């Protein structure tokens, strides 16, 4: 028996998927009882959408971008076809509309390839969800930025040089904005948070900071403290609601994400019942994405539908608690540290460690601060920035602590 | 609607499972449409097996050990009940009989909790399998031994002291043989290999070496080379068949398992299509195992059955290729290294690095050798051991290299 697959898009991923499906079809038939076959392909120059839908049981959307992908996905669903997509843009911006349509039409919608490269984040969150209450997901979900930060750490290269190297190796695009700004990671975290918490979170709800302004100096100082720098996406339940955000952060060495280097992706899922699970693997390339898409196709061949439940509105948190690394350049004279400490203390920011280094008439203070409401920390930094002995703008990076100590 | 769960065993894990199920029942009902409820409990002192089976849709077996667990599982299956078990002993020794029975009765059999603690190894291998050909699984699947080795590495403690500490902290049992001998890991690797390769591998097919004879000296020397020591289970396809084995090994720092410390478990699944996925999380404790069991129960509430396909016989490999760390204590005089090098060369063992350290009249050679057939390496070591200038038995540990370089 044939399971008919309509394929929208035939670029790098589409072609790799088509080839992989043909290669694995006999093994899949042996395992599942149906033989998947691509019965139609739509590209800019060939194929007719309605005709492809009519001759398929499932539609794979690999066009990318919002339109016409959104329109095609909705029309395929309304025609009663299962849909597999790798499209993070459309899901992070029009997810509710698409999930609702799939739920009404009782078709399957699967999107493992939209998030996390090879790492089966969506499956594991979906399956973990029913048995355990997910409290937090931390993710390195953009391979380009992780490669750049790894190179800056490893070689001491500047951001610009590491970016140029990533571009030369094909890890970064000619216009790297989507990746280095944190926007790509924000879209992925919106999809993850929607699934983990059931709240209708979209890309617009996710504040993001990128890696463009990080310097190799910051990395070098932090390395001495045993910290490593990553672009982290966080989705967590807080007392005040749900928070989803993307930001550069220093991780302590024992954090499971600290050792994830190069263009790898990784996600840590935390829950009281399971404590934590970490998943890691190479970020998306053509063959890896194709493999994730095929995995979704095979799952869709086996009923029943697994869909996100209808969304429940939950408030978004307006303030979150973070630990910080704070770097200040100040005139080297008595009383400076005392004034800074007083301002921090008034805002209830408590100091975990401080290193002072002389630089001629000036001095550099490198502080690690205990977790505090970000609004309070930023109020303190604003006050510190106005002190007359400051020699440059304060610089800060969030710090993520170990989930568990290495030993009890 | 109620989904009736019969519970066999009510020790630490059984009680934790019962409590977790009661707590999560409303959320599960909302997600799946049925409310799970424990409708009968069998312990040594209360409950009747036949009565419990009659009043359940699914039986959870948490008794452990081979009998009567095997008998209960088979009878529950024959009565048409789904079965969830955390029992690695029975699956690694009587797996085929149980899988066959479940396939014939068309019931679900799930056993995530038998392997890998919190880490969803079974699910991911099962789902990865259809889309990708699994070539190798490396696992740290015993938390006790990983804790002991981590402590020896971190503090320089002897094996005996680290074991005593693990016992004091509840990470090792009073009789630690099952864990430290590698037998527990071998049982888990047998289950993983059965699933990954479809071959009827059992515990008896898995050679295992433990950690009892490792010294903190070995660890210290290797640390200088950037290597870390783990008890590794390997299941892989080789040209000559399938090899499944458990052994202590040094890992290079960039290997994804190298950073797994403490009582954590982790598994790396390698495949051409997916390159690799690493999963890590805390090893099994009562609450974590209970959570894995509940996850299986929820999955079983949603048809269709997911079962290992019928086993296909494949040959077991008789010889495998490994890299080695070799430690020799010799008389410090001319010609010694040349004789050793000649023996290695005759067996086609090639040297990657060698460090010689003087110790009075004696010297210590620490060598890292390139991958070679183990039979050849052992032949060389047997010859070296007989050389008259040897001051002690040669010591060796396998070495696992990075899967990927940090940067291309």
Residue B400 has pLDDT above 70, yes or no: yes
Predicted pLDDT at A310: 56
Q: How confident is the model at residue A401 (pLDDT cuts 50, 70, 90)?
A: low
Which among A88, A188, A230, A378 is annotated as catalytic? A188
Q: Are B4 and B35 in contact (CB under 8 A)?
A: no
* Contact flag B303-A304 (C-beta cutoff 8 Å): yes
Residue of A30, A127, A276 with shortest CB distance to B120: A127
Which alpha helices (H) appear in A112-158, and where do they start and end?
121-131, 143-155
> In terms of residues, how long is chain A?
408
pLDDT tens per residue, range A185-229: 999 999 999 888 888 889 999 999 999 988 887 788 777 777 888
Q: Is A269 helix (H, G, I), strand (E, B) or coil?
A: strand
Distance from CA of A268 to the nearest CA of B (A): 9
The sign one gets for the Cα dihedral A91, A94, A95, A100 is negative
pLDDT tens per residue, range B172-182: 889 999 999 99
* Contact flag A132-B408 (C-beta cutoff 8 Å): no
Q: What pairs with residue B353 in β-bridges?
A: B368
Stretch B23-40: mean pLDDT, rounded? 87
Q: What pairs with residue A234 in β-bridges?
A: A138, A245
Predicted pLDDT at B401: 63
Distance between CA atoms of residues B115 and A237, nearest Å? 30
Distance from CA of A274 to the nearest CA of B (A): 5
Predicted pLDDT at B146: 95
Distance from CA of A399 to the nearest CA of B (A): 20
The sign one gets for the Cα dihedral B129, B201, B240, B404 is positive
* Contact flag B294-A32 (C-beta cutoff 8 Å): no
Stretch A116-135: mean pLDDT, rounded? 77
**Percentage, residues of chain A above pLDDT 70:** 93
**Percentage, residues of chain B above pLDDT 70:** 92
Residue B160 has pLDDT above 50, yes or no: yes
Chain A partners of B127 at a C-beta cutoff of 8 Å? 120, 123, 295, 299
Q: Where along chain B do its domains lie?
A: 2-114, 121-283, 321-400
Predicted pLDDT at B131: 67
Strand order in the sheet with A2-8: A35-42, A2-8, A58-61, A82-85, A109-110
Give the DSSP H or E segment for B35.
Answer: strand B35-42
Question: Counting beta carbons within 10 angstroms of the beta carbon of residue B30, is it exposed (0 to 12), middle (13 to 18) or buried (19 or more)?
Answer: exposed
Predicted pLDDT at B306: 42
Which tokens in the block code for residue B289? 């195992």
Residue B52 has pLDDT above 70, yes or no: yes
Q: Are B60 and B297 in contact (CB under 8 A)?
A: yes
Distance between CA atoms of residues B204 and A294, nearest Å? 35
Distance from CA of A390 to the nearest CA of B (A): 39
Which among B88, B188, B223, B378 is annotated as catalytic? B188
Stretch A312-332: mean pLDDT, rounded? 79
Distance from CA of B196 to the nearest CA of A (A): 13
Q: How confident is the model at residue B312 (pLDDT cuts 50, 70, 90)?
A: low
For residue A264, give the chain B residue with the closest CA. B406
* Contact flag B151-A279 (C-beta cutoff 8 Å): no
Chain B partners of A276 at a C-beta cutoff of 8 Å? 118, 281-282
Fold of the B121-283 domain: Dihydrodipicolinate Reductase; domain 2 (3.30.360)
Q: How confident is the model at residue A82 (pLDDT cuts 50, 70, 90)?
A: very high
ipTM of the complex model? 0.73
Distance between CA atoms of residues B171 and B168, nearest Å? 8
**Percentage, residues of chain B above pLDDT 90:** 47
Distance from CA of B361 to the nearest CA of A (A): 40
End-to-end CA distance of chain A: 56
Which tokens in the block code for residue A160? 């610009």
Distance between CA atoms of residues A105 and A116, nearest Å? 27
Residue B224 has pLDDT above 90, yes or no: no
Stretch B349-367: mean pLDDT, rounded? 85
The sign one gets for the Cα dihedral A352, A355, A356, A359 is negative
Same fold for the pair B2-114 and B121-283: no
Q: Strands B58-61 and B2-8, how do they pair?
A: parallel
- Helix (H), strand (E) counts: chain B: 13, 14
Q: CA angle B192-B194-B195, nearest 5°?
A: 65
* Contact flag B31-A309 (C-beta cutoff 8 Å): yes
Decide which of A331 and A306 is more confident. Answer: A331
> In terms of residues, how long is chain B?
408
Residue B407 has pLDDT above 70, yes or no: no
pLDDT tens per residue, range B328-337: 999 988 888 8
Stretch A365-385: mean pLDDT, rounded? 90
Distance between CA atoms of residues B107 and B301, nearest Å? 11
For helices A121-131 and B121-131, the axis angle rounded to 10 degrees is: 140
Question: Counting beta carbons within 10 angstroms of the beta carbon of residue B339, is it exposed (0 to 12), middle (13 to 18) or buried (19 or more)?
Answer: middle
Distance between CA atoms of residues A278 and A256, nearest Å? 7
* Contact flag B123-A123 (C-beta cutoff 8 Å): yes
Which tokens in the block code for residue A22? 């043909």
Which residue bears the tokens 């697959």? A5
State the best of A151, A273, A292 to mutate against chain B, taking most chain B CBs within 10 Å.
A273
| Annotation marks residue B188 as catalytic | yes
pLDDT tens per residue, range A133-171: 788 999 999 999 999 999 999 999 999 999 999 999 888
Q: Is B349 helix (H, G, I), strand (E, B) or coil?
A: coil
Which alpha helices (H) appear in B33-86, and where do they start and end?
49-54, 69-78
Distance between CA atoms of residues A256 and A267, nearest Å? 9
Stretch B141-151: mean pLDDT, rounded? 94
Q: What pairs with residue B271 in β-bridges?
A: B275
Q: Residue A315 carries which DSSP code?
A: P
pLDDT tens per residue, range B64-95: 999 999 999 999 999 999 999 999 999 999 99
Decide which of A1 and B32 is more confident. Answer: A1
Which residue bears the tokens 């004879």? B213
Which string of b and e fits A69-99 if b means at least 16 CB within 10 Å? bbebbbbbbeeebbbbbbbbbbbbbbbbebb
Q: What pairs with residue B351 in β-bridges?
A: B369
Residues 6+ apart with CB under 8 A from B105: B77, B78, B80
For residue A131, give the chain B residue with the closest CA. B295
* Averaged confidence pLDDT in chain B: 87
Predicted pLDDT at B388: 92
Which tokens in the block code for residue A36? 């998947």
Chain B partners of A263 at a C-beta cutoff of 8 Å? none
For helices B88-105 and B69-78, the axis angle rounded to 10 degrees is: 10
Q: CA angle A349-A354-A360, nearest 5°?
A: 125
* Contact flag B273-A287 (C-beta cutoff 8 Å): yes
Residue of B169, B288, B309 with shortest CB distance to A275: B288
Distance between CA atoms of residues B217 and A366, nearest Å? 37
* Contact flag B295-A407 (C-beta cutoff 8 Å): no
Q: Strands B351-359 and B362-373, how do they pair?
A: antiparallel
Fold of the B321-400 domain: Alpha-Beta Plaits (3.30.70)
Predicted pLDDT at B316: 66
Give the DSSP H or E segment for A174.
Answer: none
pTM to 2 decimal places:
0.80
pLDDT tens per residue, range B234-272: 998 887 788 899 998 888 877 889 889 888 899 999 887
Q: Are B265 and B139 in contact (CB under 8 A)?
A: yes
Distance between CA atoms of residues B113 and B299, nearest Å? 13
Q: How confident is the model at residue A129 (pLDDT cuts 50, 70, 90)?
A: low
Predicted pLDDT at B352: 84
Q: How confident is the model at residue B298 (pLDDT cuts 50, 70, 90)?
A: confident
- Rounded to 5, what percent of chain B is helix, strand, coil? 40, 25, 35
Q: How confident is the model at residue A405 (pLDDT cuts 50, 70, 90)?
A: very low
Does domain A121-282 fall under CATH 3.40.50.1100? My reply is no
Residue of A150, A277, A292 with shortest CB distance to B119: A277
Residue B186 has pLDDT above 90, yes or no: yes
* Contact flag B277-A279 (C-beta cutoff 8 Å): yes
Of the candidate ranges A258-262, A277-281, A317-321, A374-378, the one whose mean pLDDT is the lowest = A317-321
CB-side neighbour CA atoms (13 Å) of A304: 11
Fold of the B2-114 domain: Rossmann fold (3.40.50)
Distance between CA atoms of residues A93 and A202, nearest Å? 6
Distance between CA atoms of residues A21 and A229, nearest Å? 38
Which string of b and e fits B10-27 if b means at least 16 CB within 10 Å? beebbbbbbebbeebbee
Residue A304 has pLDDT above 60, yes or no: no
Please give the full DSSP string across B161-203, using - where no structure is assigned. Answer: HHHHHHHHTTSS-SS-HHHHTSHHHHHHHHHHHHHHH-S---G
* Contact flag A407-B154 (C-beta cutoff 8 Å): yes
Chain A partners of B129 at a C-beta cutoff of 8 Å? 31
């Amino acid at each position: 028996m044939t399971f008919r697959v309509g394929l929208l898009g035939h670029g790098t991923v589409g072609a790799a998927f088509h080839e992989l499906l043909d290669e694995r079809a006999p093994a899949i038939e042996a395992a599942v009882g149906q033989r998947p076959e691509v019965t139609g392909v739509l590209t800019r120059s060939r194929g007719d959408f309605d005709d492809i839908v009519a001759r398929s049981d499932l539609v794979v959307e690999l066009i990318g971008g919002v339109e016409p992908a959104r329109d095609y996905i909705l029309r395929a669903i309304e025609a009663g076809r299962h849909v597999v997509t790798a499209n993070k843009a459309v899901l992070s911006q029009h997810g509710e509309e698409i999930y609702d349509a799939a739920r009404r039409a009782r078709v399957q919608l699967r999107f493992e390839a939209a998030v996390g490269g090879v790492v089966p984040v969506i499956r594991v969150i979906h399956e973990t969800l029913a048995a355990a209450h997910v409290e937090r997901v931390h993710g390195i979900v953009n391979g380009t930025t992780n490669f750049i930060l790894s190179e800056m750490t490893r070689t001491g290269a500047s951001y610009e040089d590491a970016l140029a190297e990533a571009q030369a190796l094909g890890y970064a695009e000619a216009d790297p904005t989507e990746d280095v700004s944190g926007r790509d990671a924000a879209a992925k975290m919106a999809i993850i948070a929607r699934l983990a918490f059931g709240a209708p979170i979209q890309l617009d709800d996710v504040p993001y900071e990128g890696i463009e302004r990080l310097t190799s100096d910051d990395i070098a100082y932090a390395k001495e403290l045993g910290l490593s720098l990553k672009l982290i996406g966080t989705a967590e339940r807080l007392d005040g609601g749900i928070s989803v955000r993307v930001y550069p952060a220093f991780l302590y060495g024992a954090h499971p994400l600290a050792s994830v280097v190069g263009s790898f992706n990784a996600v840590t899922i935390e829950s009281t019942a399971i404590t934590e699970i970490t998943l890691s693997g190479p970020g998306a390339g053509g063959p890896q994405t194709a493999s994730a898409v095929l995995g979704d196709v095979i799952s869709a061949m086996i009923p029943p539908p697994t869909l996100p439940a209808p969304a429940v509105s939950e408030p978004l948190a307006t303030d979150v608690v973070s630990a910080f690394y704070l770097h200040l350049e100040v005139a080297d004279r008595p009383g400076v540290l005392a004034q800074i400490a007083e301002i921090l203390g008034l805002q209830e920011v408590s100091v975990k460690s401080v290193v002072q280094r002389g630089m001629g008439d000036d001095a550099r203070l490198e502080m690690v601060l205990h977790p505090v409401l970000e609004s309070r920390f930023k109020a303190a930094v604003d006050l510190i920035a106005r002190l007359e002995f400051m020699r440059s703008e304060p610089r800060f990076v969030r710090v993520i602590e170990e989930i568990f100590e290495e030993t009890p």
